[in-house]
């Protein structure tokens, strides 16, 4: 049986977000009708595009079915605000759908 949850992991180096990874599926509804998967997908892609295209933050990443990874090459206060808002928004969704989405933060205290 597949893992029936989306897991979002935000990583911080010292006090800055250094990236985020989102994997899995919510299985809240059938393919194409799952609003949780759709919402999470739109949010993570929007944030990555906004960081790279509008704020000119260098990123590295990987996208695959049920997997998205974004690494921030040079974190800044501006990128922290945007990624922090993504974390807050995903936590709001997770609070409403705790069986479908889990949000975690991993903090590294040294570079």
Strand order in the sheet with 67-72: 59-64, 67-72, 16-24, 6-13, 101-108
The pTM assigned to this predicted structure is: 0.90
DSSP letters, 39-99, are HHHHHHHHHHHIIIIIS---EEEEEETTEEEEEESS--HHHHHHHHHHHHHHHHHHHH-TT
pLDDT in tens, 41-91: 999 999 999 999 999 999 999 998 889 999 999 999 999 999 999 999 999
pLDDT in tens, 19-41: 999 999 887 777 777 899 999 99
Q: Place 1 in a pLDDT band, splitting at 50, 70 and 90.
A: very low
């Amino acid at each position: 049986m597949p893992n029936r949850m989306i897991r979002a992991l935000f990583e911080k180096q010292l006090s800055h977000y250094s990236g985020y990874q989102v994997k899995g599926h919510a299985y809240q509804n059938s393919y194409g009708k799952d609003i949780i998967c759709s919402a999470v997908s739109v949010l993570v892609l929007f944030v990555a595009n906004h960081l790279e295209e509008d704020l000119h933050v260098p990123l590295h990443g990987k996208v695959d079915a049920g997997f998205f990874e974004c690494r921030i090459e040079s974190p800044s206060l501006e990128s922290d605000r945007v990624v922090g808002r993504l974390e807050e928004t995903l936590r709001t969704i997770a609070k409403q759908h705790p069986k479908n989405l889990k949000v975690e933060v991993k903090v590294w205290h040294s570079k």
